[in-house]
Amino acid sequence: MNDIENNLFAYIDKIQRGSLLNLHDEKVKAEDFFLRIFKKVYNFDNLINLNYEKLNSKGIDLYDSKEKIGIQITAIQSNEKDKINDTKTLTLKNWKSKGLEKLWVFFIIETKFLKEIDTSIVEEIDGVKIHIKTIKNLIGDISKLDKEKRIEISELIKQEVSEEFYGLSKLVLFKEIGKNQKFDSTNYFNKEELIYFSKKEQGKIDNLAYNFTNNITDQYCILGNPCSGKTTIAYAMIQKIKNKRIFYLNLTEPIFDESKILDELIQISHFHSLVILDNIHDNIKLFLKIKERISKHMWIKSLFLSRYYKTFDEFDENSIYDKIEGIKYYRIDLNEDLEEKISGIISKKIDSLKNQYSELNWYKGNFVEIIKNTSSNLLKLNIALRVWEKKNRKSNNITFDKINQNIILQNFYEEHNLNEVESDSLATYCILYKNDIPFILLKGQKNINEKLKEKGIILYVYPY
């Protein structure tokens, strides 16, 4: 509630200092501001601003034909009693015959006169109930709403009073993620019904979702090897989060104007949000800038996803542990409950295949061979399941354990069109990633290795 009160009073202060309601255009803007708040607080869904239809509407500024209520909005600081009486007279004369049943005289600025009268008293004239309302009445009514509604109102008010907010429609770098929406379009992100978590992972997901929802956790990091399930855990967690808008940014992607990120964070800061930064190990310098900026925005919580960057030496000051110092983290250990996880994923996939293609046989075969074929790698497992589905639909006599490493890698090579990439570039790609050196592979660069050798980054590339 402190945010709501502070921002409302900041807006009122702006009105007092600038005599905002003396000009017609500014008066209409102020009426629109309170119209949107009244809609949220009192569910006046059909409330309209009459001054768009006719300049200086008689008696009232806002009207809801369904609720049969008219509202006069005023910022006067003297002759308040005359204003109330004039509003009553004009409103009853012009709106009683149109079915008006309730009249609010809403004072934006609470004067000495208003502090001394009892605003809880409801006067009734000729069947019309008349209420005197002030900002304090509005704040009191907001405080009685449930938490989710108060958050919506808090965001609305902050957006209205901010001079920096221009909306989320112009976000280019950050991607807003809705419920059940994937972070990217990769084919290898498991369908939700095929995702399997160990008891420990599920407990962590539930705990994080609860803590982010209730603002217990501000920042958190998930660490894991490539294809260990970092984004899958993050995806599962955000399905359970409430009262937060979710935004995603992948630091692997090239970002040429870092100032745009900081500007977009300002827009996001007008909402109670969770920002997910993926692959922070690929751009540590930018990650640190974003982390520092996010810490200044009270409404933004953050989840960071990273590989074990420079962790060969635990005392390396450039290791990921140094970069996330002070942030709690969860390490994905693929050796922990690995067989349970792989078995669970396979079982879910087989159940799905049996439902889709009940006329075919779907058997996993030797589980030990499956572990060997997939090298305990969840991405390989996912690829292998896709290959098996495709091949068994044709021949109906292949058990899953027959999908070996050569078949998996060949399918990966073909689906990703790696034949388009120069072979020496592909070798460079593997070497740099193996040694935690982030870079982006540009297709068609024939002399990549030569240039890297010139710079002393690599000495020799062994041909595959």
Same domain as 423, residue 409: no
Same domain as 425, residue 411: no
Determine the Cα–Cα distance for residues 128 and 91; give it in Å rounded to an integer.
Answer: 10
Same domain as 211, residue 123: no
Same domain as 246, residue 193: yes
Pair of tokens at residue 348: 């879910």
- Tally of CB atoms within 10 A around 60: 22
Determine the Cα–Cα distance for residues 287 and 292; give it in Å rounded to an integer.
Answer: 9
pLDDT in tens, 148-168: 888 888 888 887 777 777 778
User: Considering the domain boundaries, does residue 311 fall inside one?
Assistant: yes
Helix (H/G/I), strand (E/B), else coil: 282: helix
Determine the Cα–Cα distance for residues 390 and 261; give it in Å rounded to an integer.
Answer: 42
User: Considering the domain boundaries, does residue 372 fall inside one?
Assistant: yes
Stretch (H or E) spanning 372: helix 367-374
The amino acid occupying position 2 is: N
User: Considering the domain boundaries, does residue 338 fall inside one?
Assistant: no
pLDDT at 192: 61
Q: Which residue has the tokens 């964070």?
A: 265
Same domain as 92, residue 21: yes
Alpha helices in 102-229 (DSSP H): 112-116, 135-143, 147-161, 199-213
Domain boundary residue, one of 276, 308, 331: 331
Determine the Cα–Cα distance for residues 426 and 124; give it in Å rounded to an integer.
Answer: 82
User: Considering the domain boundaries, does residue 225 fall inside one?
Assistant: yes
pLDDT at 54: 65
Looking at the structure of the chain, the number of domains it has is 4
pLDDT at 463: 47
Domain boundary residue, one of 331, 364, 398: 331
Pair of tokens at residue 349: 């996939």
User: Considering the domain boundaries, does residue 202 fall inside one?
Assistant: yes
User: Considering the domain boundaries, does residue 460 fall inside one?
Assistant: no
DSSP letters for 171-186 = -SSSEEE-TT--SS--
Determine the Cα–Cα distance for residues 17 and 191; give it in Å rounded to an integer.
Answer: 56
User: Considering the domain boundaries, does residue 337 fall inside one?
Assistant: no
pLDDT in tens, 98-128: 899 999 999 988 888 888 888 888 899 999 9
Same domain as 187, residue 134: no
Same domain as 211, residue 139: no
Q: Which residue has the tokens 């808090």?
A: 154
Domain hosting 349: range is 343-415
pLDDT in tens, 452-461: 555 555 555 4
Same domain as 31, residue 130: yes
Determine the Cα–Cα distance for residues 405 and 409; give it in Å rounded to an integer.
Answer: 6
Helix (H/G/I), strand (E/B), else coil: 191: coil
pLDDT, tens digit only, all 464 positions of the chain: 678 888 888 888 777 765 544 555 566 778 888 998 999 899 998 998 887 766 567 889 999 999 999 999 988 888 888 889 999 999 999 888 889 999 999 998 888 888 888 888 889 999 999 999 998 999 999 999 988 888 888 888 887 777 777 778 778 899 999 888 888 765 545 566 667 888 889 999 999 999 999 999 999 999 988 777 899 899 999 999 988 999 999 998 877 788 889 889 988 988 889 999 999 998 899 999 999 999 988 889 999 999 886 655 555 566 888 889 999 999 988 777 788 888 988 998 999 899 999 899 999 999 999 988 888 777 788 889 989 998 898 887 899 999 998 888 887 777 666 666 556 665 666 666 556 565 555 545 545 556 555 555 555 544 44
CATH number at residue 84: 3.40.91
Same domain as 157, residue 57: yes
Same domain as 149, residue 43: yes
Same domain as 23, residue 157: yes
- Tally of CB atoms within 10 A around 199: 9
Domain boundary residue, one of 161, 190, 225: 161
The amino acid occupying position 437 is: I
pLDDT at 416: 65
Pair of tokens at residue 25: 């255009």
Same domain as 56, residue 180: no
Degrees, nearest 5: CA angle 220-225-226: 110
User: Considering the domain boundaries, does residue 399 fall inside one?
Assistant: yes
